[in-house]
Amino acid sequence: MKNVIEVKKITKKYGEFKALDNLQFNVEEGEIVGLLGPNGSGKSTSINCMLSLLKFDKGSIKIFDKEMTPESYETKSKIGVIFQDVAVFEELKVYENIDYFCGLYIKDKHVREEYVEEAIKLVGLNEFKNHLPKQLSGGLLRRLNIACGIAHKPSLIFLDEPTVAVDPQSRNNILEGIKKLNKSGATIIYTTHYMEEVEQLCDRILIIDKGKIIANGTKEELKGIIDIAEKVTVEFEELEKDYIDKIKKQRNVLDIDSKNNTFKISYKKGKNNLVNLINFLSDEKIKYNKIYSELPTLNDVFLELTGKELRD
């Protein structure tokens, strides 16, 4: 697959502070790539540099194999950008908003009509064509924002937190729409604070922290690079501290996190971790209400690599 985006050794400084520090990665054609990072990690700066909205100090960025500059109008016409903040015209109706933004790139009236109708169908706004933005719920407004950004059928789409504070129906509609855009050939850069969306959508994940890519791979690959291989949750009626210390000394135990009487035990790679724990509790005659084992999640990966929750 050919690269749609090539970011090579980008450095961006604000005084002595390095917002981007020798940042480097590629995005291949047809991928949905999740760009994740804690607040202040460099996500927004890197996106703004890729879009040539922000100058950087060193390095190079190519999109569609061409150097990206503020004057790269042909390249920009192939890009759709949906930022977290909704940007539509309050005095224009739903159809008129989408038609306006599509018209920035598509001059043929008949082609534009077709594209606008397809965008409306994609985001599920058929019943709201003649509504003003102020008449829409938050979820519907975000759908309109997405339709305005993708109506011209861009080959590369940047989606920044598109499902923040939306209702479940709109969220599902947006996620399904993103999948359809990808199946139609669009390459997508996706940022979110919802790990379940990353699990559901993304072919590959880039984790950025302190202006550097600290992890790059599929969700399975990323889960394989951390120490945690299994998590066992146990709900006790009561557990004395001496037994907590004994569990910590069990084979393969990395850490124990507790809240009230529920304990989450993290294990490194090894066999029979759950069986060994059950046998230990049985031998010690320790009663528990429930016990279950889980594989590590992307949030475990994120927490171990950055020291923060994704939503921090």
Question: Tell me: domain 3-223, CATH 3.40.50.2000, correct?
Answer: no
d(CA 10, CA 24): 7
Look at residue 27 and tell me whether its pLDDT is greater than 80.
Answer: yes
> CATH 3.30.70 occupies which residues in the chain?
230-295
d(CA 18, CA 125): 42
**Residue-wise pLDDT tens digits, 233-291:** 999 988 888 999 999 999 999 999 999 889 999 999 999 999 999 999 999 999 999 99
Residue 165: per-residue pLDDT: 80
- Mean of the pLDDT values across residues 80-92? 93
> CATH 3.40.50.300 occupies which residues in the chain?
3-223
Question: Would you list the DSSP string of 112-124?
Answer: HHHHHHHHHHHHT
Residue 311: per-residue pLDDT: 60
**Residue-wise pLDDT tens digits, 42-70:** 999 999 999 999 999 999 999 999 999 99
Give the β-pairing of 79-82 and 156-160. parallel
- Asked if 265 and 231 count as a contact pair (C-beta separation under 8 A), the reply is yes
Residue 238: per-residue pLDDT: 84
Question: Tell me: domain 230-295, CATH 3.30.300, correct?
Answer: no
Residue 307: per-residue pLDDT: 85
d(CA 233, CA 230): 10
- Mean of the pLDDT values across residues 174-180? 94
**Residue-wise pLDDT tens digits, 185-244:** 999 999 998 999 999 999 999 999 999 999 999 999 999 999 999 999 999 988 888 999
